Copies of this chain bind each other. A is one copy, B any other.
Amino acid sequence: MDELGIGLIGTGFMGRAHALAFRSAGAVFELPVRLHLAALADADAQRGEHCAGAWGFAQAHRDWQDLIADPRVNLVAITTPNHLHFPMAMAALAAGKAVYCEKPLAVSVEQARQMHHAAQAAGVVTRVGYNYQHNPVIAQARDMIGNGELGQLVSFQGEFSEDFMADPDAPWSWRCEPQHAGGALADLGSHLLAMARFLMGPVQAVCADTQTVHLQRPTEAGSQERRAIAVDDQAHALLRFANGARGTLSSSWIKHGYKNHLSFEISGTLGTLAYDQERLNELRLYRVGQKGFQRLLAGPALPGYAAFSPAPGHQLGYNELKTLEVHELIMALCGQGRDGTDFAEAWEVERLAAAIRTAAAEQRWVAL
């Protein structure tokens, strides 16, 4: 394969993030294949044309089915609202195309299970956009854990909090609908669950508590009319990992002051490691024998960083994590991939989130 044809469905924020990543990947990395931005799809034909022009795609389709059928498209990237992931991914898999789907994989565990099985059957490369895992400092964290630098893992404290729904007058949106995978746990917490599994491995049992604090929200910004809300504003959980470690998880979209606070502390018998996505180029590390926590700034010694800058302290941004994700995906498509988050793994994340919801609903421990 000399050239890889990219087809992008969706032109919102995440659509553009994908486009930027595909545009940059070839200049940042030495890729084993040339990328061809073959097509994008948007139901709004005018917007589709405009974005294709601005973002460098060869063609715009109005109908996503046409994009999937397009023979120049080898890889289908899906960045549409959550409830569309299932039909689009299933169609792409049926067409034998590789699929790169935004998170969450689906809006139900059952959908996720079917997608996972369809991907297995199709035998194609799949990836789901848990892009925070591609941060070089997270790769470093995983390597350190894998190398035993923290010893036997003992605890995990994780939190993903933001405050974009903290205002009780923040209006209803599809994110407030369970059938669209709404709520703090699904919207934010799933990133944290994926991260927990990425770094700590499987979870064996959970107990949890979820809560809707603002029971009604305006139907739209400024409206007097209010609509009942059925999804969680915050979720808390206890986690038991298969490796024996224990821990807690918190996820909230109403915690004032936080903007992107995906954070964790992982402790083992030889040290402690801490991370906060609001400072995504840093780790805090303590190892036995040190006098105190070290602040580690990202630098070219870390996996992936050097492709962006030869000097430490020059920092990567959120969008560049997407470029790293695309790179990993392309390497996988060329048979040189590492262990990316594929549909099988994303299904496990959905199972875990579902177990947390069950534990909260039934107020009991749930085994996985």
Using CB atoms and an 8 Å cutoff, list the residues of chain A in contact with chain B.
Answer: 13, 16, 19-20, 23-24, 26-28, 30-31, 54-56, 154-155, 157, 159, 162, 164, 166-168, 207-209, 211, 213, 233-234, 236-238, 240, 246-248, 250, 252, 254-261, 265, 267-272, 277-281, 285-288, 290-297, 299, 308-320, 363-365
Copies of this chain present in the complex amount to 4
User: A250 touches which one: B27, B157, B261, B280 (CB < 8 A)?
Assistant: B157
The answer to whether A254 and B154 touch (CB under 8 A), given A166-B269, A246-B234, is: yes
The reply to whether B364 and A260 form a contact with Cβ atoms under 8 Å apart is: no
> A28 to chain B: which residues have CB within 8 Å?
16, 20
Task: Give the CA-CA distance A280 to B313 in the complex, in Å.
Answer: 10
The reply to whether A209 and B246 form a contact with Cβ atoms under 8 Å apart is: yes
User: A259 touches which one: B27, B268, B311, B365 (CB < 8 A)?
Assistant: B311
Task: Give the CA-CA distance A118 to B279 in the complex, in Å.
Answer: 43
Task: Give the CA-CA distance A16 to B155 in the complex, in Å.
Answer: 35
Write the chain B residue with the least CB distance to A234: B155
The reply to whether B240 and A238 form a contact with Cβ atoms under 8 Å apart is: no
The reply to whether A259 and B312 form a contact with Cβ atoms under 8 Å apart is: yes
Task: Give the CA-CA distance A216 to B261 in the complex, in Å.
Answer: 38
The reply to whether B311 and A319 form a contact with Cβ atoms under 8 Å apart is: no
> A248 to chain B: which residues have CB within 8 Å?
236, 248, 250
Write the chain B residue with the least CB distance to A261: B313
The reply to whether B291 and A285 form a contact with Cβ atoms under 8 Å apart is: yes
> A277 to chain B: which residues have CB within 8 Å?
313
**15 A-B pairs whose Cβ atoms sit less than 8 Å apart in the complex:** A19-B27, A20-B27, A23-B24, A26-B54, A27-B55, A155-B234, A155-B255, A255-B272, A256-B286, A257-B272, A257-B290, A258-B272, A259-B313, A316-B319, A364-B364
Write the chain B residue with the least CB distance to A277: B313
Task: Give the CA-CA distance A317 to B211 in the complex, in Å.
Answer: 36
> A312 to chain B: which residues have CB within 8 Å?
259-260
The reply to whether A271 and B257 form a contact with Cβ atoms under 8 Å apart is: yes
Task: Give the CA-CA distance A290 to B312 in the complex, in Å.
Answer: 14
The reply to whether A238 and B209 form a contact with Cβ atoms under 8 Å apart is: yes
Nearest-Cβ distance from residue A300 to partner chain B, whole angstroms: 10
Nearest-Cβ distance from residue A118 to partner chain B, whole angstroms: 31
Task: Give the CA-CA distance A296 to B166 in the complex, in Å.
Answer: 18
